[in-house]
Structure 1
Amino acid sequence: MGRRLIVTAVAGVGMMAVAGAVLFLPGEQGSQAARSAPRATAQDDPLTGQEIARASAIASAGSREHLAAGQTKLLYVERDDDKDAGERRLANAYLYDYGADQLIMRTVDLGRGTVVEESVARGVQPPPSKAEETAAAELLLADPAYGGSVRESYAKTGGRPLRSASDLGLRGLIFTPAHERGSARHCGIHRCLRLFVRLPDNTWLDTSRIVVDLSAKKIHTLEW
């Protein structure tokens, strides 16, 4: 399937994915643009915003109950670059089931409006989504040991109280333990993030020992 995105995986398990993006049409003169018919989307074009929304809805249809309960979340949708697809437009939707700790990939045929392939794997950890980074920051702020110091540091550097996790500059990386003996030893099977937090003055909090476990909804402190 063309280009590959390397993901962190337990026991060397990998998964196939290809970058997709929202297509922005170049500007044209107003009256001419209004009269022009939209160009047909080619198989190799990036996904449009409409296609991403359509693929998301189709891929999520079988998981609506778990999505509503927060047990499963749609991470993102990317174009499938399968060279054997012919003229078909395919998209890969990645969902994570935090209850079963399973990654679900559903390939959607956008023309037919159906899921044409599904795979389920444990221990496969693609990069975190923006929503997961925000969820990890919310868990950090709610933690009695760390939340207060994060708010204090934000207020000191920003000159105003922290309103929500979305005020923070966030960057998340998947955490897979090497030889952890503490509470973070289940990460790699659980969905765990190392969260980097940027403050208003562009300095970064020292979060080097903090791991956010999205599966267990806990904060782990690494021991060293």
Structure 2
Amino acid sequence: MRHLMHRHLGKVLAGAALALTGTALMAAITLPAGADAAGGASGRSRPGAVSPSVPGPDPGPPPPGVVEATRPQGERGRGRDPLTDDELRRARDLALPRTRRGAAADVTGRSGPEPLTTDLAEPTPAEAGLADPPRRALVSFYDYRSDTYRTTTVNLTTSKVESTDTQHGVQPPPSHAEAVEASRLLIAAPLGAGLRQDYREATGRDLTGPDPLAVTGFVYRGRAEGEAPGALADCGEHRCIRLFTKVKDGPWIDTRRLVIDLSARTVARLG
């Protein structure tokens, strides 16, 4: 058992043979389709590749003269139409804080907050019966300089900011860009040795960056989820995430016991 406790944590998960176990937190987490996980005392299972799914028969090209029509996207939608590309760009530009350069930082440390989501906002009750109510967007950012979550409502009809709310200690689900940056930090960290070793065992190649991996992140809130090691005491106030990690077109590698503090840019181990 002592030997097992010293084995690295980046474990390759074997197909659908294993089930997610453990805390109430993980019971609330849904693995990506096709992923299985196990939580042993050592945090490692026997390596095993996931068999790729068998593709269905090739339907072949469409009949001659048949072209699938695509709906043209205008600059502005109507009613509850999804936000157009132009509206998405304008909403984020309007919501972007007008602060001095370097006052906010994204997940990589560059100037400006990290964009998270841009969603169509609900009309007000007074506007619900209008044929063409004002179009609004709810835009969210995370500022890594101050560890604040910012949500802004912009009116796309008038091009004005209507409200802004800034909160500390609020941790929404991470974006794909944040998950990729977390995997980059993990790969470079000493605690990423297990992930690098398992990747080499699975592919025969060295893992030097996140490109060969498919990653999904979920927030770790530190003591709000139970006992947290000293190195993770700031999680919850800091932006900390854990990862589901998969080799693209290959097996899953379990990195769930490793926590990446994106605010401090450090990596620590749970348990």
Q: TM-score of the superposition, structure 1-length normalised?
A: 0.75
Q: Contact conserved, 1:96 with 1:103, CA < 8 A, in 2? A: yes
Tell me the equivalent position of 2:96.
60
The answer on 1:117 being equivalent to 2:163 is: yes
Q: Contact conserved, 1:157 with 1:201, CA < 8 A, in 2? A: no
CA apart distance, 1:43: 2.2
The answer on 1:166 being equivalent to 2:211 is: yes
3-state secondary structure, aligned to 1:186? coil
Q: Contact conserved, 1:78 with 1:91, CA < 8 A, in 2? A: yes
The answer on 1:78 being equivalent to 2:119 is: yes
CA apart distance, 1:152: 3.4
Q: Percent identity?
A: 32
Tell me the equivalent position of 2:5.
none
Q: TM-score of the superposition, structure 2-length normalised?
A: 0.63
Gaps of 5+ in 2: 1-67, 128-132
Which amino acid in the other structure matches residue 91 of structure 1? A
What aligned pairs does 1:1-224 form with structure 2 within 5 A after superposition? 28=69, 41-63=77-99, 65=101, 66-67=104-105, 69-70=110-111, 72-84=113-125, 86=127, 87-146=133-192, 148-162=193-207, 164-177=209-222, 178-200=226-248, 202-223=250-271
Q: Contact conserved, 1:92 with 1:108, CA < 8 A, in 2? A: yes
RMSD after superposition: 2.8
Larger Rg: 2
Q: Contact conserved, 1:157 with 1:200, CA < 8 A, in 2? A: no
Aligned length: 192
Which amino acid in the other structure matches residue 59 of structure 1? A
Deviations 1:89-136 (A, max 9, x none): 111111111121110001111122221110011111111111101111
CA apart distance, 1:161: 4.1
Q: Contact conserved, 1:71 with 1:99, CA < 8 A, in 2? A: no
- Higher helix proportion (structure 1 or 2): 1
Which amino acid in the other structure matches residue 133 of structure 1? A
Q: Contact conserved, 1:154 with 1:200, CA < 8 A, in 2? A: no
Tell me the equivalent position of 2:8.
none
C-alpha distance in 2, partners of 1:90/1:179?
41
C-alpha distance in 1, partners of 2:164/2:191?
41
Which amino acid in the other structure matches residue 256 of structure 2? S
3-state secondary structure, aligned to 2:96? helix
Pick closer, same or farther for the CA change 1:166–1:110 going to 2, 3 Å. Answer: farther
Q: Contact conserved, 1:63 with 1:72, CA < 8 A, in 2? A: no
